[in-house]
């Protein structure tokens, strides 16, 4: 796990993937970390726009649901996916979140780190959930 301290405001923790490559590492490291750290504001689940939602994602979802940790889906590499596939994967995830989850944020964030699309809104969301974005009338 990599820790990025963002000034005095919050720390972003980058966790290893939980796909076919390292399910055991994920269970050992990430599960323990999520369970022990009660001050986590949000957990982000990154799904590749081209690949979409996979069976392996359920490992993470079940864990987060069980621990009662609020989480949000981020759809990565949106520059790579044809528009039709992007929409299909967005709808699939949102439909799943709506029907089968408790702790999942109803809105997902499609992003591209190459084109920078969606990054601004995701940053604002992170600033907001970490208590660093003063909002009007709230």
Ligand X SMILES: Nc1nc2c(ncn2[C@@H]2O[C@H](COP(=O)(O)OP(=O)(O)OP(=O)(O)O)[C@@H](O)[C@H]2O)c(=O)[nH]1
Rounded to the nearest whole angstrom, what is the least distance from the CB of residue 137 to ligand X in the complex?
34
DSSP 8-class letter at 89 = H
- The distance of closest approach from Cβ of residue 64 to ligand X in the complex, given in angstroms and rounded to an integer, is 17
Binding site for ligand X (CB under 6 A): 16-17, 46, 76-77, 79-80, 112-114
Region of 66 (left: φ > 0; alpha: ψ -120 to 50; beta: rest) is alpha
Q: Closest CB to ligand X among 25 and 62?
A: 25
Gyration radius of the chain over CA positions: 15
Of 46 and 122, nearer to ligand X (C-beta) is 46
Residue 125 Cβ vs ligand X, minimum distance, rounded to whole Å: 17
Phi, psi of 92 (to 5 degrees): -60, -45
Determine the Cα angle at 48 with ends 37 and 100, to 5°: 60
**114/121 with CB nearer ligand X:** 114
């Amino acid at each position: 796990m990599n820790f990025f301290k963002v000034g005095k405001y919050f720390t972003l923790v980058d966790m290893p993937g939980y796909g076919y490559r390292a399910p055991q590492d994920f269970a050992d490291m990430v599960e323990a970390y999520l369970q022990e750290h009660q001050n986590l504001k949000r957990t982000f689940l990154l799904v590749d726009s081209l690949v979409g939602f996979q069976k392996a994602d359920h490992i993470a979802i079940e864990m987060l649901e069980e621990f009662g940790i609020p989480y949000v889906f981020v759809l990565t590499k949106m520059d790579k996916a044809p528009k039709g596939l992007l929409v299909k994967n967005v709808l699939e995830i949102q439909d799943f979140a709506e029907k089968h989850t408790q702790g999942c944020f109803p809105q997902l964030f499609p992003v591209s780190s190459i084109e920078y699309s969606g990054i601004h809104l995701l940053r604002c969301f992170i600033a907001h959930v970490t208590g660093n974005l003063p909002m009007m009338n709230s």
